[in-house]
Amino acid sequence: MAYSEKVIDHYENPRNVGAMDKDDSGVGTGMVGAPACGDVMRLQIKVNAQGIIEDAKFKTYGCGSAIASSSLVTEWVKGKTLDEAMTIKNSHIAEELELPPVKIHCSVLAEDAIKAAVEDYRSKQGAAQVSQGGETLSAQVAH
């Protein structure tokens, strides 16, 4: 299969490979996919007090396009608010990496990974608020 130069670049020089402490309340972890399907992505985001994603790390088991898709989204989510990160669509990823039709699922998985990481972060925040006292929860969710 012929890969685009961008896929090869991310594959050969993956950005932001690594792990964060998944028990840290400021870290959201999203793991999507399944080994049996040939790809598993783990995206982690570190969110600061202002609600901005200040760092992102990934590890991916999967084909070159899956590795490139996850590497790319770690670059894209950095500096974004959670809501902004949630607007990243698989079509943007596929377009940027020039993925062929058989590899679109890799970009779908990367989008799912962002959503899962954000949800994980939000549910942790929610849980933290609940354990501190129920009243603040609604305020937290509303903002």
Partner 1 sequence: MSSSQIIELESKKPLLIDPDRPIYLDYQATTPVDPQVLEQMLPYLTHDFGNAASRSHAYGWTAEKAVDKARQQVADAIHADPREIVWTSGATESTNLALKGAAHFYSGKGKHIITLRTEHKATLDTCRQLEREGFEVTYLEVQEDGLVDLKAFEAAIRPDTIIASVLFVNNEIGVIQPMAEIGRILRAHKVLFHVDAAQALGKVPVDVEAIQADMMSLSGHKMYGPKGIGALYVRRKPRVRVEAQVHGGGHERGMRSGTLPTHQIVGMGAAAELAVQLMDSDARRIGKLRDRLLKGIQDRVEETYINGSMEHRVPHNLNISFAFVEGESLIMALKEIAVSSGSACTSASLEPSYVLRALGKSDELAHSSIRFGIGRFTTEAEIDATIELIAGKVGKLRELSPLWEMHLEGIDLNSIQWAAH
Q: Given the rule CB under 8 A, which residues bind partner 1? A: 1, 3, 11, 14, 17, 19, 31-42, 59-64, 66-67, 102, 105, 108-109, 112
The token duo for 115 is 């959503």
The amino acid that residue 105 corresponds to is: H
63 annotated active-site: no
Closest to partner 1 by CB, 32 vs 99, is 32
Closest to partner 1 by CB, 35 vs 133, is 35
Q: In what order do the strands lie in the sheet with 27-34?
A: 27-34, 39-47, 53-61
Task: From the candidates 77, 106, 116, 117, give the one annotated as an active-site residue.
Answer: 106
Shortest Cβ 131–partner 1 spacing (Å): 25
Closest to partner 1 by CB, 39 vs 96, is 39
Shortest Cβ 34–partner 1 spacing (Å): 3
Contacts of 22 (CB under 8 A, 6+ apart): 29, 44
Task: From the candidates 8, 19, 37, 130, give the one annotated as an active-site residue.
Answer: 37
37 annotated active-site: yes
Closest to partner 1 by CB, 65 vs 125, is 65
Q: Are 61 and 83 in contact (CB under 8 A)?
A: no
**Neighbouring-strand partners of residue 52:** 81
The token duo for 128 is 């933290």
How many of the other CB atoms lie within 10 Å of CB of 95?
A: 11
How many CA within 13 A on the CB side of residue 2? 2
Shortest Cβ 99–partner 1 spacing (Å): 13
Shortest Cβ 61–partner 1 spacing (Å): 4
Catalytically active residues are 37, 106
